[in-house]
């Protein structure tokens, strides 16, 4: 009896059995931009999502829909997009009239795809755990949106900092953002922050 020659072609549904390609964690914002549990506002140019690991009571990320890897890849003519991102973040902020926000970018972001942080200044969150977390929002590592826009318009590019300079800022001693208190550690800082929160 003749035996059938082994087929070189995959069975019709073999490809669907292969495990989905895993994306790197640094691409996570791209998935979150389509996550209805995180999206709070979306139009043809931007998406505003809740930060998945918020470092304050209110922490959002405004992300352009066009592909922009990071601050360094911005061209002068894209300052208008940055203005649009800040403007729409401020419109969202108007829903929280008693909340103080800052709007800015991490000089050396960990996540791919440009994102503007909109973060309330209470820093009351269980996800805020480390000195690096604190310093990333409370030193020159946090670049104010207005300064970034001005730099892009005046110099045609966004000047950030070297990784070494960034590391030094993240490693700076802790300091309260509202007063001169310099706590020894994060638990002491977190305890202290309640003095500044008007509940
Ligand atoms: P950075 O890249 O340093 O500007 O910060 C990235 C921010 O994205 C952090 O505040 C994270 O908590 C937040 N984050 C990380 N992964 C995700 C995700 N998959 N979806 C939403 N936010 C995220």
- pLDDT tens profile 167-188: 999 999 999 999 999 999 999 9
CATH code of the domain made up of 26-197? 3.30.428.10
Please tell me the distance from the alpha carbon of residue 137 to that of residue 119, in angstroms, as a whole number. Answer: 9
Total residue count of the chain as it appears in this document: 199
Shortest-distance Cα residue to atom 12 of ligand 1:
53
- How far, in Å, is the centroid of ligand 1 from the Cα of 42? 18
* Segments making up each domain of the chain, as ranges: 26-197
What are the tens digits of pLDDT across the range 67-119?
999 999 999 999 999 999 999 999 999 999 999 999 999 999 999 999 999 99
- Residues belonging to the active site: 115
Give the number of the atom of ligand 1 that is nearest the alpha carbon of residue 117: 4
Give ligand 1 pocket residues (Cβ under 6 A).
Answer: 28-29, 32, 49, 51-53, 61, 106, 109-111, 115
Average pLDDT over residues 11-27: 66
- How far, in Å, is the centroid of ligand 1 from the Cα of 6? 49
Predicted confidence band of residue 22 (pLDDT cuts 50, 70, 90): confident
- How far, in Å, is the centroid of ligand 1 from the Cα of 4? 54
């Amino acid at each position: 009896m003749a035996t059938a020659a082994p087929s070189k072609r995959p069975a019709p549904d073999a490809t669907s059995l292969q495990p989905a390609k895993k994306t790197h964690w640094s691409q996570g914002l791209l998935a979150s931009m389509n996550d209805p549990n995180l999206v709070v506002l979306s139009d043809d140019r931007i998406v505003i999502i809740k930060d998945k690991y918020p470092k304050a009571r209110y922490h959002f990320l405004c992300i352009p829909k066009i592909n922009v890897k990071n601050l360094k890849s911005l061209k002068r003519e894209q300052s208008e997009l940055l203005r649009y991102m800040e403007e729409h973040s401020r419109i969202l902020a108007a829903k929280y009239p008693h909340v103080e926000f800052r709007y800015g970018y991490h000089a050396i972001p960990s996540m791919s795809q440009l994102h503007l942080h909109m973060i309330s200044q209470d820093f009351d969150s269980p996800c805020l755990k480390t000195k690096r977390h604190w310093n990333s929002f409370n030193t020159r590592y946090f670049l104010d949106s207005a300064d970034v826009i001005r730099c892009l318009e005046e110099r045609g590019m966004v000047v950030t900092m070297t990784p070494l300079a960034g590391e030094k800022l993240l490693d700076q001693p802790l300091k309260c953002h509202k007063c001169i208190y310099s706590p020894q550690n994060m638990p002491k800082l977190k305890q202290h922050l309640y003095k500044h929160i008007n509940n």
